[in-house]
Amino acid sequence: MKAHDAIRAALTEAAARLGASVAASTIELEQPRDPAHGDLATNLALTLAKSLKQKPRAVADRLVATLTLPQGLVRKIEVAGPGFVNFFLAEAQLATVLAGVLAAGGNYGKGDAGRGTKVNVEFVSANPTGPLHVGHGRGAALGDGIASLLEWTGHAVTREFYVNDAGTQIDKLARSLWARVQQAVGRPADIPEGGYHGEYLIELAAAVLVREGRSFADLPQEEGERRCREIGVRSQRAEQDEDLREFGVKFDVTFFESSVYRDGLLDQTLADLRARGYTYERDGALWLRTTAFGDDKDRVLRKSDGTYTYLLPDIAYHRQKHERGFARAIDVLGADHHGYIGRMRAAMQALGYPADFYHVELVQLVRVVRGGEEVRFSKRSGEFVTLRDLFQETGVDAARYFFLMRRGDAQFVFDVDLAKSQKEENPVYYVQMAHARMSGIFRVAAREPASVRADGVDLAVLVEPEEADLMKEVAAFPGVVARAAETLEPHRVTGYLEGLARRAHGWYHKYRVLGEPEEAARLVLAAAVRHVLANGLNLLGISAPDRM
RNA sequence: GCGCCCGUAGCUCAGGUGGAUAGAGCAGCAGCCUUCUAAGCUGUUGGUCGGAGGUUCGAAUCCUCCCGGGCGCACCA
């Protein structure tokens, strides 16, 4: 709603007259829980009190005295409590938001705070050594949600998946698969230490023998393992791609570790780090002085045996993101990688990049519970519950919503029974149902929601308290999106949607739309609420069904 | 031993750059279907915000210590 912007702008000016400089976007302007505290309230005076060395109430009084707002926006301003400034909007002001929502439609809630900044969001990035598990699913939902939030706030976003197709994990995959091939033709063979024991490699070995013929197993070991490496990576990549596609996640770029070697990026990166003076030799190894940027200890780039550690290709890869023109590189990583953050951030600074170029969002582990008991292992993957098992059982919408409804850095219990429930207890159904109900009104009225216009409709008849509440909530949506994008926290959006859905259900239950004197105005309200529910759900990659 | 994340109602979790009486959902209890979906709504019970100090006019929020849970601390990736 433009009221938010107008009030923020006016507060910025008023603060300037008191000698304080604040950016309009940083001013807290919230809808108080208690309606007696107005439609919008700011704690600006409280936050300025310290720096101005005055009492909060005095600051608030002076702020209000110098505040100049556009005519007709506000009917009353109060200073209350310890120094809050409460704004009571003019009656007609509230309804103006509805016209704005209908005009913007699917774009309502978008902003341009990002001003086209190029941002790279890397997520999932699972090794191509086995099926994706639920932890990857949480990372996928969160990474995709963060990417969408950044798009909605005007950033140019690239969704990226990094494939470790060159490391020792791949060697283990190759040797594990080769062992399964040998076992399949009746020869004794052991899965190598630290190899992959999941049943999927037994299935794959059988498929390979069918396709390539049983003589495949007679290849010399070296060639057999080489072929197994290719086949294994290709097949696991294909399965992961398919899982992600069905989960509704689409990447713009798939980046292969092997290309880092092929394109000579390692040497360039090493040369850069050397030239900037952050490397040194000791004990026959080449070290990076990450302690210069707050890391616990320096890190080895090249081992004394002449081979590189994993760190160098990773640095080269992130250096390459910078070369591609990204202002920010956000990695969504599992919490077990947190030891990695310090050294990578240090490496980025050693390359001379701004401290905020590299950012990591950690995703804590997921526990899956069904029937009150933890589901731990999947026979097929040999370790955790697979993402595919999960979304096939609960549906993609429920799985994505559940992954998004909690902060990423909190451990999370995924209740499969709750996700499958088709009652109000299940938040995703609850929100989708609110959307379906709004749609139902138009279905019965035999009208397209898109055909509803606010002009010519007298919105002043929307006088019920529940209607004022709904309009305020609708007006708050762009701010919620902006804040969620700033903090990279999609759960703010699910929380908002649940609140909006609750108000929508309550209103729907208490008042009728069709056949009432207020029909035209209420159709406008229903269409606006429906838009916001749909926009919020779509932003998170969740469908907004018209009927359920 | 060192580092990071977490500890809020019976359960799952918001709130965390200090601000008005700590919120929601579920579960519990009491009600509501000739109506555009009861896949819903209304009311209600329930809290020493892990503990102890500290900073502040004001602390769930910031600082210190302690307790509990998770995860990391390689010339592994």
Three-class HEC string of A57-80 = HHHHHHHHHHCCCCCCCEEEEEEE
pLDDT of A1 higher than 60: no
A405 CA, B22 C1': Å apart: 21
Closest CA to A498 of A439, A425, A442: A425
Q: For helices A465-487 and A519-539, what crossing angle results, to 10°?
A: 20
Cβ atoms of A480 and A496 within 8 Å: the answer is yes
What secondary structure letter does DSSP report for A307?
P
Spatial distance between the Cα atoms of A219 and A232, rounded to a whole number of angstroms: 16
A144 CA, B63 C1': Å apart: 36
pLDDT for position A379: 61
In Å, what is the CA distance from A7 to each residue of A10, A12, A28, A67, A70? 5, 9, 11, 9, 9
**Nucleotide nearest A424, from its CA to each C1':** B39
For residues A243-267, average pLDDT: 93
For residues A223-243, average pLDDT: 96
Nucleotides of strand B lying closer than 7 angstroms to a protein CB: 2-7, 12-15, 17-21, 23-27, 35-42, 57-58, 69-77
A431 CA, B48 C1': Å apart: 36
Q: Which residue is nearest to nucleotide B12 (CA to C1')?
A: A413
A506 CA, B70 C1': Å apart: 40
* Strands A279-282 and A253-256, sheet pairing: unpaired
Query: What is the band of A381 on the pLDDT scale with cuts at 50, 70, 90?
Result: low
**Nucleotide nearest A78, from its CA to each C1':** B20
CA torsion angle A328 A250 A340 A165 (round to 10): -120
A446 CA, B63 C1': Å apart: 62
Highest-confidence segment of A78-82, A352-356, A384-388:
A352-356
pLDDT for position A397: 95
Q: Which residue is nearest to nucleotide B69 (CA to C1')?
A: A411
pLDDT for position A355: 85
Indicate the range of A195-204, A287-296, A367-376, A530-539 predicted with least confidence: A367-376
Q: Which residue is nearest to nucleotide B13 (CA to C1')?
A: A406
Spatial distance between the Cα atoms of A346 and A349, rounded to a whole number of angstroms: 5
Q: Which residue is nearest to nucleotide B5 (CA to C1')?
A: A409
Query: H/E element holding A504?
Result: helix A491-510
A 10 A CB-CB count for A448 gives 10
The amino acid that residue A179 corresponds to is A
> Which domains are present in chain A?
2-89 (3.30.1360.70), 94-113+424-539 (1.10.730.10), 118-161+251-363 (3.40.50.620), 168-246 (no CATH)
Q: Would you call A279 helix, strand, or coil by DSSP?
A: strand
pLDDT of A283 higher than 70: yes
Closest CA to A538 of A110, A120, A136, A246: A110
Q: Which residue is nearest to nucleotide B25 (CA to C1')?
A: A425
Structure tokens given for A418: 């709750």
Closest CA to A175 of A203, A196, A146: A196
pLDDT for position A343: 92
Spatial distance between the Cα atoms of A79 and A87, rounded to a whole number of angstroms: 9
Q: Would you call A121 helix, strand, or coil by DSSP?
A: strand
A56 CA, B57 C1': Å apart: 9
For residues A116-135, average pLDDT: 93
The mean pLDDT value of chain A amounts to 90
The amino acid that residue A121 corresponds to is V
In Å, what is the CA distance from A453 to each residue of A100, A246, A422, A456, A522? 10, 36, 33, 8, 12
In Å, what is the CA distance from A370 to each residue of A364, A377, A395, A415, A421? 20, 13, 15, 6, 12
A145 CA, B24 C1': Å apart: 22
Strands across the sheet with A328-334, in order?
A253-256, A156-163, A118-122, A328-334, A358-363
For residues A230-257, average pLDDT: 96
Spatial distance between the Cα atoms of A314 and A320, rounded to a whole number of angstroms: 10
The amino acid that residue A334 corresponds to is G
The ipTM estimated for the assembled molecules is 0.92
Spatial distance between the Cα atoms of A56 and A68, rounded to a whole number of angstroms: 20
pLDDT for position A377: 65
A412 CA, B66 C1': Å apart: 26
pLDDT for position A6: 85
In Å, what is the CA distance from A483 to each residue of A28, A145, A157, A533? 11, 14, 17, 17
End-to-end CA distance of chain A: 31
**Nucleotide nearest A42, from its CA to each C1':** B19
Closest CA to A47 of A11, A74, A77: A11
Q: Which residue is nearest to nucleotide B39 (CA to C1')?
A: A423
| Segment A466-513, tens digit of pLDDT | 998 899 889 889 988 988 998 899 999 999 999 999 999 999 999 999
A279 CA, B1 C1': Å apart: 29
In Å, what is the CA distance from A17 to each residue of A62, A158, A397, A455? 9, 42, 50, 39
CA angle A352, A355, A357 (to 5 degrees): 90
pLDDT of A332 higher than 80: yes
A467 CA, B2 C1': Å apart: 56
Q: Which residue is nearest to nucleotide B4 (CA to C1')?
A: A338
| Segment A146-167, tens digit of pLDDT | 999 999 999 999 999 999 998 8
**Nucleotide nearest A513, from its CA to each C1':** B36
**Nucleotide nearest A86, from its CA to each C1':** B20
pLDDT of A404 higher than 90: yes
